[in-house]
């Protein structure tokens, strides 16, 4: 069965000679054992993005990136998009003397700024729990380590509050996206990034699932970055904060003065 799968690789784009070589390699893989087979299998799925850079310009209102790809045969595809990880604090309010104020907090160490999953079929029909956890497929399986000695139910409350807040900001998907297959091998999905998408290096992971196992995976980087005027402003503010402050004050005085002078004649 393994050799058969390896021989049925994508055919249309590749010359017949190469196909034969690859087929032979697949056969060799079967003969030589699991390690070599794995390297061959890594190419069972090929995926790419319509763009590897999301440019946040002054007029940015969110954007959509198309992920497309092909498999070497029947199977299901899951796409996991993860934003850069950073620490985050969740605070809980309690009623103190009638007022709601922050009383407790929990710090999470590695929280992805963005997280969304798209699948071709509901995940529970495809794979078991261990696989979901290994690949962090779906919000319940997302690893959010926190350094705390809180009882599990408290921890769970903080965890779900983190996810809920992220979903409200539109940065964690509420439901899973749809990977659409065109025929048996070509697939595509649209990944939406809202206007408040955090900047940084994103990971787009495409997984090929067959018979309840992830048989192939490919990771594609995606950069979200400010470009043009907005990038210059934020670089200026970050790199030379005092000069930026002085410039902001001078600009404000000039603007106020100009407006005052303009209205003198009215």
Partner 1 sequence: MQVYLPIAEMSVNALLVLGMGWLVGFLSGMFGVGGGFLMTPLLIFIGVPPAIAVGTQANQLVAASVSGVLAHWRRGNVDVKLGVVMLAGGVVGTAVGVWIFGILQRLGQIDIAITLSYVFFLGTIGGMMLVESSRAILRRRAPTAKRGKLHRHIWLHGLPFKMRFQRSKLYISALLPAGIGVVGGMLVAIMGIGGGFLLVPAMIYLLNMPAGLVAGTSLFQIIFTTAAATLLQAATNQTVDAMLALLLLIGGVIGAQFGTKAGTRLRGETARMALSLIVVAVALKLAWDLFSRPDDLYTLTMGLR
State yes or no: residue 22 binds partner 1 (CB under 8 A).
no
State yes or no: residue 89 binds partner 1 (CB under 8 A).
yes
Binder among 113, 120, 136, 216 for partner 1 (CB under 8 A) = 113
Q: For partner 1, which stretch binds (CB under 8 A), given 5-13, 135-143, 207-215, 231-239?
A: 231-239
H helices within 104-208, ranges in order? Answer: 129-134, 152-168
| Residues paired with 101 in a beta bridge | 94
Binder among 4, 140, 212, 241 for partner 1 (CB under 8 A) = 241
Q: What is the dihedral of CA 238, 240, 246, 248, to 10 degrees?
A: -30
State yes or no: residue 219 binds partner 1 (CB under 8 A).
no
Strands (E), 30-133: 45-49, 53-56, 63-71, 76-82, 85-96, 99-112, 115-119
Q: How far is CA 97 from the centre of its chain?
A: 42
State yes or no: residue 59 binds partner 1 (CB under 8 A).
yes
Site for partner 1 in 179-208 (CB under 8 A): 195-196, 198-199
Q: Are 54 and 65 in contact (CB under 8 A)?
A: yes
Binder among 115, 158, 193, 202 for partner 1 (CB under 8 A) = 158
State yes or no: residue 226 binds partner 1 (CB under 8 A).
yes
Q: Who contacts 71 (Cβ-Cβ below 8 Å, separation ≥6)?
A: 44, 45, 77, 184, 185, 187, 208, 216
State yes or no: residue 102 binds partner 1 (CB under 8 A).
yes
Output the CA torsion sign for 66, 70, 75, 80.
negative
Q: How far is the CB of 195 from partner 1 (least distance, A)?
A: 4
Which residues lie near partner 1 (CB under 8 A)? 56-62, 86-95, 98-102, 105, 111, 113, 157-158, 161-162, 164-166, 168, 195-196, 198-199, 226, 229-231, 233-234, 237-238, 241-242, 244-249, 251-253, 255-261, 263-264, 266
């Amino acid at each position: 069965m393994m050799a058969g799968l390896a021989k049925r690789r994508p055919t249309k784009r590749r010359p017949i000679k190469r196909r034969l070589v690859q087929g032979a390699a697949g056969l060799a893989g079967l003969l030589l054992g699991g390690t070599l087979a794995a390297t061959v299998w890594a190419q069972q799925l090929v995926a790419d993005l319509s763009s590897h850079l999301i440019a946040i310009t002054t007029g940015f209102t969110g954007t959509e990136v198309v992920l497309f790809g092909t498999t070497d045969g029947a199977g299901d595809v899951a796409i996991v998009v993860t934003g850069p990880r950073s620490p985050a604090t969740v605070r809980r309010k309690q009623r103190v003397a009638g007022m709601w104020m922050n009383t407790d907090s929990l710090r999470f160490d590695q929280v992805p700024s963005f997280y969304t999953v798209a699948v071709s079929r509901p995940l529970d029909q495809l794979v078991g729990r261990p696989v979901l956890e290994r690949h962090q497929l779906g919000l319940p399986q997302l690893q959010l380590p926190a350094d705390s000695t809180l009882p599990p139910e408290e921890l769970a409350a903080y965890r779900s509050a983190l996810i809920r807040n992220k979903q409200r900001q539109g940065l964690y998907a509420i439901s899973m996206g749809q990977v659409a297959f065109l025929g048996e091998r070509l697939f595509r999905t649209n990944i939406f990034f809202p206007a408040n998408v955090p900047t940084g290096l994103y990971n787009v992971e495409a997984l090929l699932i067959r018979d309840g196992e992830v048989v192939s995976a490919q990771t594609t980087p995606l950069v979200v970055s400010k470009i043009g005027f907005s990038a210059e402003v934020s670089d200026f503010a970050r790199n030379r904060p005092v000069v930026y402050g002085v410039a902001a004050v001078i600009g404000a005085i000039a603007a106020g003065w100009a407006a005052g002078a303009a209205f003198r004649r009215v």
